[in-house]
Amino acid sequence: MAYVSEATRFLGDLLERHPELKELRSRNRATWWERPQDLDEQRRREASRVPLGSYAYFPRPRKPDAAA
């Protein structure tokens, strides 16, 4: 017999006691994940992406302006 974690057992028991959750889960998944994709919009987003520097958390300091 394979190991079954406590979390997996809890979720299995919950779904046994509340079978309506399976339908609700499927409906909610369709709301957020199973949407038609717009390929033109995806291409525009890719084209407008700005490349990150080598270390994004601390950007390099800006050079002082020569006019200042």
C-beta atoms surrounding 68 within 10 Å = 4
Position 42 scores a pLDDT of: 93
Say what the pTM is: 0.43
CA angle 30, 31, 37 (to 5 degrees): 80
14-67 pLDDT, tens digit per residue, is 999 999 999 998 888 878 777 788 999 999 999 999 887 777 777 777 888 766
Q: Is a pLDDT exceeding 70 seen at residue 11?
A: yes
Q: What is the DSSP letter of 43?
A: H
Asked if 21 contacts 14 with a C-beta cutoff of 8 angstroms, the reply is yes
Helices (H), the chain: 6-17, 20-32, 39-47
